[in-house]
Amino acid sequence: MLTEISLNVIDIARNSTRAGASLVQISIDLDTRKKTLRLTIADDGSGMSPQQLAKVEDPFFTSRTTRKVGLGIPFLKQEAECTGGTFSIKSEEGKGTVVEALFHRDHIDCMPLGDINSSICMLVTTSENKDVDFVYTYEVDGRSFKLDTREVREILDGVPLSDPKVSEFIRSYLIENQEAVDRGESMEE
Amino acid sequence: MKSLAELKAIRESMQGQIGLRSEDDDTTKIVVGMATCGIAAGARPVLNELVKDVNEKGLKNVVVEQTGCIGMCEYEPIVEVFEPGKDKVTYVRMTADKADEVIEKHIIGGKPIADFTLSKVDI
């Protein structure tokens, strides 16, 4: 298993970019009363056939050729379910895939969310596929903020997301806005 | 709440520089394995450190990118350096500290660090 939920986020989102997605939507949704964390990663990539989908939770199935095991999905499933939570993956060929994991944070086996801003910043600024866009939403009890790289790109007008000044801005945007949501603020639409 | 407004200022400060950063034959590529194996072995702090060093030292024509699994999971985190006109250098079992050394001695100094490479690992 991985030691932080935010590390699973990189892993699963990379499945989406590898599946040729042009948009990957990642959301972290915390409910402080129910003490749950819901992670959702949805993409518009190639999707999977029903045959592939049936095997995707099996660690000894992978579509890659460099090795014979595929542990990313089984890890996330196990991490969620061992907290009494749930895991689901829905996929349609040609349409995309949605992965959802629900964690009970008050369970002793629940991994910490970890450095989620580092994971998101890395995905957005160092992707080998420069054209893929991300929408990241962080929500606590209905309050939220969002990073949409399509909006960022529109402002940047050709400056790459990997530019040092841009990646530094994105990092501080994520950190400051997570803190703001945690202390009770919400982004206006 | 921090808005995207600051980005406009960043964009404006770079007026006229667009196109200069496009990847071409002069670009050195530093690639970090970020599949499940790499992530589990600690690739995220390595990639973060490389990006931080490249940005802080203002290194031009150097890009840091993710890649998938290259099939040597037991040697992760793996960092590959592709310099124009030179052989690829593969660093294995990397850490953030080793990443600092690679930037300093190899990327800036021009001398690959043999001790960190695949050929020096006991198999």
CB contacts, 8 Å: A163 with chain B: 14, 21
The per-residue pLDDT for B15 is 73
B65 touches chain A (CB under 8 A): yes
Q: How far apart are CA A115 and CA A189, in angstroms?
A: 26
A14 touches chain B (CB under 8 A): yes
Burial of B87 (0-12, 13-18, 19+ CB in 10 A): exposed
Residues 6+ apart with CB under 8 A from B41: B73, B76, B77, B93
Chain Cα centroid distance, residue A147? 12
Give the residue carrying structure tokens 């420069």.
A130
pLDDT digits (tens, 9 = 90+) for B31-87: 999 999 999 999 999 999 999 999 999 998 999 999 998 889 999 999 999 999 999
Q: How far apart are CA A173 and CA B2, in angstroms?
A: 6
Say yes or no for a CB contact (<8 Å) between A66 and B68: yes
Q: Which residue of A has its CA nearest to B54?
A: A164
Q: How far apart are CA A52 and CA B92, in angstroms?
A: 32
Residues 6+ apart with CB under 8 A from B71: A66, A67
B23 band by pLDDT with thresholds 50, 70 and 90: low
Model confidence at B20: pLDDT above 60: no
DSSP bridge pairs for B32? B66, B79
DSSP characters for chain A?
--S-HHHHHHHHHHHHHHTT-SEEEEEEEEETTTTEEEEEEEE-S----HHHHHHTT-TT--S-SS-S---HHHHHHHHHHTTT-EEEEEEETTTEEEEEEEEETTSTTPPP---HHHHHHHHHHS-SSTT-EEEEEEEETTEEEEEEHHHHHHHHTT--TTSHHHHHHHHHHHHHHHHHHHTT-----
Closest in A2, A126, A169 to B66, CB measured = A126
Q: How far apart are CA B33 and CA B71, in angstroms?
A: 10
pLDDT digits (tens, 9 = 90+) for A125-174: 999 888 999 999 999 999 999 999 999 999 998 899 999 999 999 999 99
Tokens of B50: 């490389």
Q: Give me the domains of chain B, ranges plus CATH numbers.
A: 4-120 (3.40.30.10)
Say yes or no for a CB contact (<8 Å) between B66 and A127: yes
To the nearest whole Å, the CA of B100 is away from the closest chain A CA by 17
Mean pLDDT over each residue of chain B, to the nearest integer? 91
Q: Which residue of B has its CA nearest to A156?
A: B11
A180 touches chain B (CB under 8 A): yes
Tokens of B121: 């690992």
Residues 6+ apart with CB under 8 A from A154: none
The per-residue pLDDT for A97 is 95
Model confidence at A70: pLDDT above 90: no
- ipTM of the complex, rounded to two decimals: 0.90
B67 touches chain A (CB under 8 A): yes
Q: How far apart are CA B90 and CA A20, in angstroms?
A: 27
Model confidence at B123: pLDDT above 80: no
Q: What is the dihedral of CA B94, B36, A131, A64, to 10 degrees?
A: 120
B2 touches chain A (CB under 8 A): yes
Residues 6+ apart with CB under 8 A from A183: none
Q: How far apart are CA B46 and CA B96, in angstroms?
A: 5
Lowest mean pLDDT among A36-45, B9-18, B40-49, B101-110: B9-18
Q: How far apart are CA B102 and CA A136, in angstroms?
A: 32
Q: Which of B105, B112, B98 is nearest to B32 (CA)?
A: B98
Average pLDDT score over residue span A33-41:
98
CB contacts, 8 Å: A70 with chain B: 36
Closest in A127, A158, A185 to B1, CB measured = A185
Q: How far apart are CA A85 and CA A68, in angstroms?
A: 28
Say yes or no for a CB contact (<8 Å) between A7 and B7: no
The per-residue pLDDT for A173 is 97
B48 touches chain A (CB under 8 A): yes
The per-residue pLDDT for A29 is 98
B35 touches chain A (CB under 8 A): yes
Which is more confidently placed, A187 or A66?
Answer: A187
pTM, rounded to two decimals: 0.93
Give the residue carrying structure tokens 């995309």.
A96
